[in-house]
Amino acid sequence: MNKVAVVSVTLNAVLPMMAGFAVADGGAPWGVTNYLDEGLQANVQADGGVRERSLSRMTELLEKAVEGRADAVLLTCTVFSPHLDLFRRRFPLPILGADVAMLEMAAKLRRRTAILCTFPASLDTSLAMFRSAAERIGAPGDAEAFLVEGAFEALATGDRLRHDELVAASARVHAAGFEALVFAQMSMAAAAERLTDCAVPVLTSPACAVAAVREAIETRRAAS
């Protein structure tokens, strides 16, 4: 069994990620343990980004995941993905960002891409990671990031329906001017179900993340 620790800062990311593991095909089955600290999201929002206190708190959460003897750790929060190398230097197991594989897949499409975000702090980081992925593979890296106004607040009050409506509406608007759409937050994944008739690809992170974690675990085992 593949043992993976899923580290999140909002419960709204846990459910879609668990659904992603549940429907994954092929390979060994999954044993998933969730580590959740919703206070971290509040810290990042208050600070306008990831600062030292948030990095320290995330490190403590990762320590718990490592103590649980996971084969790999998956971070579901986009704003911590730029700090993956820092975490990898500290901990001796694969640590992945759920959005990284998705952004790499988007870059490989080589299309003009709209990155939709519900969390303001992820706008710059998501765009920077997309462009970095594009540079690594020699792709154009033509993308813009947009905030879905009101979606974060709707979800914070428990109004999932309103959140999904806002995300889907924004996606339809941007589909008219772009060739691919990326939903930066994992909590946005369910809104993609409203876009089955969308004329451009819509990428969400759960499926991409599962594939990336499986590959990382298998690569590590083959090397040991």
Q: Give the pLDDT confidence of 163-172 residue by residue, as tens digits.
A: 999 999 999 9
Token pair 């979606």 in the structure block, residue: 151
Reported CATH class of domain 100-205: alpha beta
Identify residue 153 by its one-letter amino acid code: E
Supply the pTM of this predicted model. Answer: 0.82
- Average pLDDT on 153-169 reads 96
pLDDT bin (cut points 50, 70, 90) of residue 24 is confident
Question: What's the pLDDT at 108?
Answer: 93
Reported CATH class of domain 2-97+207-223: alpha beta
- Sketch the domain layout of the chain as residue ranges: 2-97+207-223, 100-205
Question: What's the pLDDT at 17?
Answer: 92
Contact 6, 14 (CB under 8 A): yes
* Residue 208 parent element (H or E): helix 205-223
Total residues belonging to the chain: 224
Question: What's the pLDDT at 27?
Answer: 66
Tell me whether the CATH fold assigned to 2-97+207-223 matches the one assigned to 100-205: yes
* Residue 36 parent element (H or E): strand 30-36
Token pair 């909002």 in the structure block, residue: 10
Q: Which of 96, 196, 180 is nearest to 140 (CA)?
A: 180
Q: Give the pLDDT confidence of 60-79 residue by residue, as tens digits.
A: 999 998 999 999 999 998 88
Contact 102, 182 (CB under 8 A): yes
